[in-house]
Amino acid sequence: MIITEILAKYKPEKDQLLMILHEVQNTQADHSIHQEDITAIAQHLNLTTAQVVGVVNYYSMFHTEPRGKHIITVCKSPVCHIKEADAIIGHLEKALGIKMGETSADANFTLEHAECLGRCDEAPVMSINQDFYGHLNAQKIDEILAQFEEKKTTKGEPKKAKGLKGLFGKKLKNHARN
């Protein structure tokens, strides 16, 4: 969905900003917010570009650097922590060949922490994009990842965010890959 189609769904009111940013980020193939999106959102809401950038930078849930096609978030909150979420993270890091906060070389997966995902009774829990997976163990993770590998296609490579370093330099550094 292109930005004009997204914006057409929202009233030009400032309190719509967070919802718009969420939808834009979730819609982009690389799960990030691009500079041209920022400009269009600012115009739609009668805000300055700097005001929108300020909100994007304030919330850690928003990203301006390209991320993977599939965003894996692992709950690190107390219940999942007690249920050995650290072991789940370790297994994911090994299986994907990346560390927490990184994106795989093929741009298929990004691995991130999350606060409570609201499914504590299924701990340990992770989400992949909009779907949740609970009662995790190493075998279950391998099976889930295998499903995504099968779905992988050669098209749909994430687009590179353009010219954002100047606006979001600090945030880009935080996500620098090794």
Toward ligand FES, which CB reaches closer, 11 or 81? 81
**Cα distances (Å, whole numbers) of residue 137 to 84, 85, 89, 124:** 9, 9, 10, 8
Could you tell me the smallest distance in angstroms from the CB atom of residue 177 to ligand FES?
27
Binding site for ligand FES (CB under 6 A): 75, 77-80, 116-120, 123, 125
Token representation of residue 161: 């965010």
The Cα 64–Cα 152 span in angstroms is 24
Nearer to ligand FES, 115 or 143 (CB): 115
Closer of 3 and 85 to ligand FES (Cβ): 85
Minimum CB–partner distance for residue 74 and ligand FES (Å): 9
Q: Residue 123 Cβ, how far from ligand FES at the closest point, in Å?
A: 5
